[in-house]
Every structure is written in C-alpha cells, then in structure tokens.
C-alpha cells in the first residue's frame, strides 16, 4: 500500500510501499544544523523510560544510540547531513539479515520484512525545526505480513512511546546546548 508522506524524503526511496508504519514529530527551537549532531550522538538510554523498555526487550547495551543500532545489525541506508538520516533492517525467519543499501531497495524475495527508520528535519522558521521520526515496514509475502503483524500488535505501543521519548530527549538536549552556546557568546561579548 502506498501512502502520502513528506516530499523528497530518503525513506520514500527505500520503503515507498509499506504495510506497517508509525510517525511522530516535535518542534525544536534550534536550526537543523544544531539538531543533527545531537541525533547522531545522543544516548537514548538517558531517558529512564527508554532504558527500561530497551532492557525489558533484551536489547544489547550498545543499542543506546544510532551507532549502536548499526553495530547490532541495522544498516545505515543513507543520510543527508542536517536533513535526514535513514537506517534499515531486514528480518527473515532466521533473524536480522545484513544487506547493502542497493539490495535493500530492491528486495522482493518472499519471506522477508524490511523496515526503515528515519529522523527527518524540516525548517519551519530561521531557528525552528520540525523533527520527525518515521518507521515503515514492508513484508514481501502474506505469511511474513501475518507474522510481523502479530509482532507489531504487541510492540507498536511501546515502540511509539520510545520514539516520542527519543524526540523529547533530542529536543531537550539540542535546546539546552543552544542556550549554552548563546550564553557563552553573550559572555564573551561582555
């Protein structure tokens, strides 16, 4: 099923058609170039809720930031600095499968689910950015859609909560660092 989304996002190039999705947004009073480095380095487990849910899910400790997700089997599909970062995963009955970004794009073999997860930044004013995160999953056959659908039914409320907490954490850190930077600039002028 094809759905409407923001124009020209990388996620559209990798998972344009999908069976499962979720999207969350937050407004941040910082320009994208101040937020993007935070997205790439933030420790999501600074949120007690995320830490608890990651622990309950049995995720490895290294999966506390995007680098850790990539080291654990996710693939960096593509990124546009200060605009969007996109990671992906391929699931087969045997677990997570590694694939190159071009292979990920074209995967249609039965028995797989491919998912993409992004952080996308949209400038809405000179110092205000809309940060969104979206997850999309496409299943290559009916059996995988049913299996993944059961998994999604259980996991999606918690996944949604995690994404909301991630956005709030990024907002808090980016805005705090912005205030520190402004304070240092004002202090040096005096």
What is the tens place of the pLDDT at every residue in 45-65? 999 999 999 999 898 889 999
- The pLDDT of residue 188 is 57
CATH fold for the domain made of 12-189: Alpha-D-Glucose-1,6-Bisphosphate; Chain A, domain 4 (3.30.530)
Task: Domain ranges for the chain, please list them.
Answer: 12-189
- Looking at every residue in the chain, the average pLDDT score rounds to 91
96 contacts: CB under 8 Å, gap ≥ 6: 73, 74, 89, 90
Separation between Cα atoms, residue 188 and residue 178, nearest integer Å = 15
CA distance 53 to 161: 9
- 96-112 mean pLDDT: 94
- Contact yes or no for 57/45 (Cβ under 8 A): no
Bridge partners (DSSP) listed for residue 75: 88
Reported as a single tens digit per residue, the pLDDT across 129-188 is 999 999 999 999 999 999 999 999 999 999 999 999 999 999 999 999 877 766 555 555
Sort 146 into a burial class: Cβ within 10 Å, 0-12 / 13-18 / 19+: exposed
The pLDDT score that the predictor gives to residue 8 is 80
CA–CA distance, 131 with 141 (Å, rounded to integer): 32
Encoded tokens for 65: 């930031």
């Amino acid at each position: 099923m094809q759905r409407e989304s923001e124009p020209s996002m990388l996620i559209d190039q990798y998972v344009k058609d999908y069976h499962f999705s979720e999207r969350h947004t937050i407004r941040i009073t910082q320009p994208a170039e101040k937020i993007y480095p935070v997205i790439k380095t933030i420790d999501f487990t600074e949120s007690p809720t995320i830490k608890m849910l990651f622990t309950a899910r049995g995720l490895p400790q290294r999966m506390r930031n995007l680098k850790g997700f990539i080291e654990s089997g996710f693939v960096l599909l593509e990124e546009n600095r200060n605009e969007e970062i996109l990671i992906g995963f391929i699931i087969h009955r045997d677990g997570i499968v590694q694939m190159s970004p071009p292979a990920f794009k074209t995967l249609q073999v039965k028995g797989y689910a491919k998912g993409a997860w992004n952080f996308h930044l949209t400038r809405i004013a000179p110092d205000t950015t809309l940060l969104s995160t979206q997850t999309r999953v496409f299943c290559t056959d009916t059996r995988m859609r049913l299996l993944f659908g059961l998994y999604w039914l259980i996991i999606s409320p918690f996944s949604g909560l995690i994404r909301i907490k991630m956005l709030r954490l990024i907002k808090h850190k980016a805005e705090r660092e912005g205030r520190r930077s402004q304070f240092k600039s004002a202090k040096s002028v005096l």
